[in-house]
Amino acid sequence: MTSTPSRRKAYDGVALCAPVTVPYRRYSTNSAHWWIGRALQALTKQAGLQPTDLDGLSVSSFTVGPDTAIGLTQHFGLTPRWLDHVPFGGASGMVGLRRAARAVQAGDADIVACVAGDTNHVDSFRKTLATFSRFAQDAVYPYGSGGANASFALIAKNYMNTYGARREDFGKICVAQRDNAMGVPHALMKKALTLDEYMAARPISDPIHLFDCVMPCAGAEAFLVCSEQTARSLELKSVRVLSTIERHNAFPGDPIQVRGGWAMDAGELWSMAGVKPDDIDFVETYDDYPVITMMQLEDLGFCKKGEAADFVRSHTLTNNGTFPHNTCGGQLSVGQAGAAGGYLGLVEALRQLTDAPLGTHVPDARIGLVSGFGMINYDRGLASGAAILARAA
Amino acid sequence: MTEPLARPRRKDPLKKTRLPLNPQGARSRAAHGLTAAAAEGRFVLQSCADCSAVVYPPRDACPVCLSPRLPYKDVDARGVLLAETTVRSSTDPYFRERTPWRIGTVKLDAGPVLVAHLHGDTKEGGRVRLGLKLDKSGAPVAIALPEQDTPHMGDDPQLRELTCDPKFRRVLITDGRTAVGQAMAKAFSEAGSSIIFVGIADAWKPFPGMDALRGIERVEIIPLDITDSESVLEQAEQNGGRIDIIVNTAEHIRAGGIIERRGINIAREEMDVRYFGLMRLAQAFGPGMRFRGADGVNSATAIVNLLSVYALMNWPTYGAHSAAEAACLSATQSLRAELRSGGVRMVNVFFGPLETEWFQTVPPPKVAPAVLARAVIEALKKGLEDVFVGDVAEDVRLRLAVNPKALERELAG
């Protein structure tokens, strides 16, 4: 990995704290506002704050319409001086974190509540798919209406054809994540998964089978961004940000997606953090489908392009393994609560680095890498981001 | 290899009728450039007027140079099928009824990548050519076809969803007295239609070609007068449940403009045959066809309306006739919207002067009835919506696209 030294300002003095998860439910009759409101309430309780103490708010949601972040300020009785709406799906956590961290550093806000939440009504998933984007409406949804399953099936099939990954390799990722989810009380998938069960699952959109797919659900995730000083005064355990990257619509000339924006920016990510892949104690990838996890392992520099299947074969991916990965089970086990899926890995990383995981601990976790990926606007995911986080000194 | 269609058996009245559903038909305004091309069977994509980049999905600015000038142009439809998937689980009711459904990613030689429906004879990694078609919602979609035609390829179930192939379908030709009606009966018989109902008004009156018409395989002569509401309703009650395609061949052609006509009797007859005739047909047969729009191999699929190209711009030599044709054209636009919920297509076939008695004084080129009939079959097999047959129709289409006002003056002579 070659890279020039970073010219970007470090995230000195920024603290991430108060990881919050509103337990997921498969379907909810409540609105996205209800889920986001509960997450904000949990944040303030955990931090011992009044709602009016939140002077920054960053919101990510697919189902909060017709409202956006501005409407939510009145809905929740907040009067922030810094407000952001981050509708970037699986990259929402990364993008929200980056912006909030800079706002705190610059003094534009003292305490930013970052929250992602979505509801899942009985028919809301279909409606979200049908109107997801203009390109999806014009050029994807009319073709079988298989949703993300079909789009990622094409990407997965091409990846398997090109690099020789097998379903068993995807299965190993899924099985390990299920193992990691066993201690997580609100995980929607509570039953242990074997590789045989994975292989025998019904096909959804070949080569995607049932256990390659996330379960759409309702839920919310949240955390606070503030200064280290503020975190100390609130007596909150906190996590440091060593580096971050973000990229959109990378490699538009690739005829079909085999890599994401991480491949453009990984050098920057490592050099800014001053650490190497070997220094990472656990990795939270965005796991809407295991093929995307493989691309992240490659593009973030844990192995070379096309070698993720080998990498997976040569590691154990459970929390006590050689490469702890998606340590709360990821979306594949916990469920995908819309935009909260883009927060899941980040919130879990905060828990691991503050010794408060919902499930099992990663032993001696000091540094974690979190990655986000989102918005399959047409034929590929457009947004990518990653952050390297460290336990507070 | 496409499995040839089996002749559908007589319908079991106890079995469920698959109700018509449509895939999502919403499209952006830019994407309707594809609708226009699919309606005529052309393959086009946006092509930047400033940097020549070929662009897809449809955009309002070029992703290479940001130019807003992105006209649709004919482009090479060939490419490679990079990856395919079989959708087995769909959130959309239309596709849920039709899974498994194959789609794929096609990289065109011209540059862009399209997600497309797949014909059964395409293979991952292989060469394909794309066709633009209208789906049941009337919206444009791409389907990857094998690079060379394959046997029975029109029988492929995914392709057949996008066409109105007359094979094994039952047809009503509304007027068999005319040369066009008789040519149409012959063409549908040759195209493999199961029954060709041919309407004859006042059957006791003999007409030229009667014996030849009766001799065509699978032709069944029925009494039908589309200027008589009762006659039309009676046929709909008798045979409406088994008519999948209607070809309206009823014609009324007289020369002359508006001022030269003495009174309005002839004009009224023109309107009665062309405008009210179509309305009677649509009211009598439309509801049943709409209900059977997804009813298996021989689902109701199209109403074909034969139109003078002068419906689009009046030709004063046949000025009153042109006006009646224009009324008929306008009605088809409404019908198109009304039939869409059933997935039934309204096909307009435009042509110039025909090689028939009513155009004796008009110089060539003229369209022979057999040529018109072949064009109708082709249009149905390809799933077209707007068809221009012959040199005059094509000439009018091109002139109209460039400068309608110039065409108005040119037709005035």
| Count of all residues that appear for chain A in the document | 393
Per CATH, which fold does A133-214+239-391 belong to? Peroxisomal Thiolase; Chain A, domain 1 (3.40.47)
Same domain, yes or no, for B364 and B272?
yes
User: Over 90: is that where the pLDDT of B107 sits?
Assistant: yes
Could you tell me the pLDDT band of residue B75, with boundaries at 50, 70 and 90? very high
Is residue B326 helix, strand or coil? helix
Same domain, yes or no, for B140 and B277?
no
Q: Give residue B229's Cα distance to chain centre.
A: 25
The minimum CA-CA distance between B11 and chain A, rounded to whole Å, is 28
Q: Give residue B49's Cα distance to chain centre.
A: 31
Q: Contact B37/B116 with Cβ under 8 angstroms? A: no
Q: Establish if A379 touches chain B: CB-CB under 8 angstroms.
A: yes
Same domain, yes or no, for B245 and B368?
yes
User: Are A204 and B89 inside 8 Å of each other by CB?
Assistant: yes
ipTM of the complex: 0.93
Residue B211 lies in a domain: yes
Q: Name the domain boundary from B160, B187, B212.
A: B160
Residue B165 lies in a domain: no
A125-159 in b/e burial notation, b at 16+ Cβ within 10 A?
bbebbbebbbbbbbbbbbbbbbbbbbbbbbbbbbb
Q: Which of residues 265-304 of A touch B (CB under 8 A)?
A: none
Same domain, yes or no, for B133 and B276?
no
Same domain, yes or no, for B115 and B188?
no
Chain B positions touching A152 (Cβ under 8 A) are: none
List phi, psi (to 5°) of A208.
-75, 125
Q: Contact A36/A61 with Cβ under 8 angstroms? A: yes
Domains A14-123+218-233 and A133-214+239-391 share a fold: yes
Q: What is the domain range of residue B54?
A: 32-160
Q: Establish if A158 touches chain B: CB-CB under 8 angstroms.
A: yes
- Round to whole Å and give the CA distance between B126 and B23: 28
User: Over 60: is that where the pLDDT of B109 sits?
Assistant: yes
Same domain, yes or no, for B72 and B153?
yes
User: Are B105 and A378 inside 8 Å of each other by CB?
Assistant: no
Same domain, yes or no, for B296 and B370?
yes
Residue B188 lies in a domain: yes
Which pLDDT belongs to residue A6? 64
Backbone CA torsion sign across A195, A199, A202, A205 = positive
Residue B3 lies in a domain: no
Q: Contact B189/B218 with Cβ under 8 angstroms? A: yes
Residue B336 lies in a domain: yes
Q: Name the domain boundary from B160, B182, B209.
A: B160
The minimum CA-CA distance between A32 and chain B, rounded to whole Å, is 21
User: Residue A145: which of B85, B90, B114 has the nearest Cβ?
Assistant: B90
Residue B16 lies in a domain: no
Q: Establish if A155 touches chain B: CB-CB under 8 angstroms.
A: yes
- Total domain count for chain B? 2
DSSP letters for B210-271 = HHHHHHSTTEEEEE--TT-HHHHHHHHHHHGGG--EEEE---------SSSS-SSHHHHHHH
Alpha-helix residue ranges (DSSP H) falling in A84-146: 92-106, 124-130, 134-139
Same domain, yes or no, for B222 and B331?
yes
- Round to whole Å and give the CA distance between B404 and B395: 12
Which pLDDT belongs to residue A200? 98
- Round to whole Å and give the CA distance between A371 and A213: 18
Same domain, yes or no, for B113 and B182?
no
Domain ranges of chain A: 14-123+218-233, 133-214+239-391
Q: Count the alpha carbons within 13 Å of A325 in the hemisphere toward its beta carbon.
A: 23
Q: E strands of B70-146, at which residues?
A: 72-74, 78-87, 101-108, 113-118, 127-134, 140-146
Per-residue pLDDT of chain A in tens (393 residues, 90 and over written 9): 445 556 799 999 999 999 999 999 999 999 999 999 999 999 999 999 999 999 999 999 999 999 999 999 999 999 999 999 999 999 999 999 999 999 999 999 999 999 999 999 988 777 777 778 999 999 999 999 999 999 999 999 999 999 999 999 999 999 999 999 999 999 999 899 999 999 999 999 999 999 999 999 999 999 999 999 999 999 999 999 999 999 999 999 999 999 999 999 999 999 999 999 999 999 999 999 999 999 999 999 999 999 999 999 999 999 999 999 999 999 999 999 999 999 999 999 999 999 999 999 999 999 999 999 999 999 999 999 999 999 997
Q: Check which CATH number belongs to the domain holding B211 and give it.
A: 3.40.50.720
Interface of B with A (CB under 8 A): 23-28, 30-31, 56-58, 63, 82-92, 94-95, 99, 101, 103-105, 107, 113-117, 124-125, 135, 137, 139, 141
Same domain, yes or no, for B139 and B196?
no
Residue B5 lies in a domain: no
User: Are A206 and B141 inside 8 Å of each other by CB?
Assistant: no
Which CATH superfamily hosts domain A14-123+218-233?
A: Thiolase/Chalcone synthase (3.40.47.10)
Same domain, yes or no, for B216 and B301?
yes
Same domain, yes or no, for B151 and B129?
yes
Which pLDDT belongs to residue A126? 77
User: Are A256 and B113 inside 8 Å of each other by CB?
Assistant: yes
Mean pLDDT over each residue of chain B, to the nearest integer: 96
Residue B62 lies in a domain: yes
- Residues B269-295 have pLDDT tens digits of 999 999 999 999 999 999 999 999 999
Q: Name the domain boundary from B141, B160, B179.
A: B160
Q: Contact B219/B411 with Cβ under 8 angstroms? A: no
